[in-house]
Structure 1
Amino acid sequence: MTIEDALIKYYGGRAEYSCGRLYRIGDKRVEYSCGQLSYVGNDRIDYSCGRLYQVGGNRVEYQSNEIYKIGGIVIR
């Protein structure tokens, strides 16, 4: 599962794409910085060592190198 797929599942909205890139999830606009997702709406996306670390202040948990949870929401 990609980071984009995990965020779509986390926010639960319909994904919209523009020019092959994720543009909007539900009513939240997606912003990129240096080719990586940086914001979804007002929620900041943080990375550590190239992996997703936090979404809007909610920690990301991994299980077998796959995103398992964001905050209290199970993604897998």
Structure 2
Amino acid sequence: MKLYTAIFIAAISMPVASVAGICSLEFGDVSDIRQALGVGVLTAFIMLVAALILFLAGIPATLRRLRPQTNSSN
């Protein structure tokens, strides 16, 4: 399940990052477009790091689930 969650987070990171940049500009949190782009980049980076951590945490469970299938076919 962690792998699917990681893939989902990675897939939605770019749309969420662009919305975060646009909203920060619209709500007046930043003063120009370069700072809004920075907010978007930071948001995407944080989401992708979280997705990478979840992906790496899900690998051992996936390997345990796949290992009995390969041994039973011998």
User: How high is the TM-score relative to the length of structure 1?
Assistant: 0.22
Q: Which has the larger radius of gyration?
A: 2
Q: Which has the higher contact order (CA 8 A, sep 6+)?
A: 2
The structure with the largest helix share of the pair is 2
Normalising to structure 2: TM-score of the pair?
Answer: 0.22
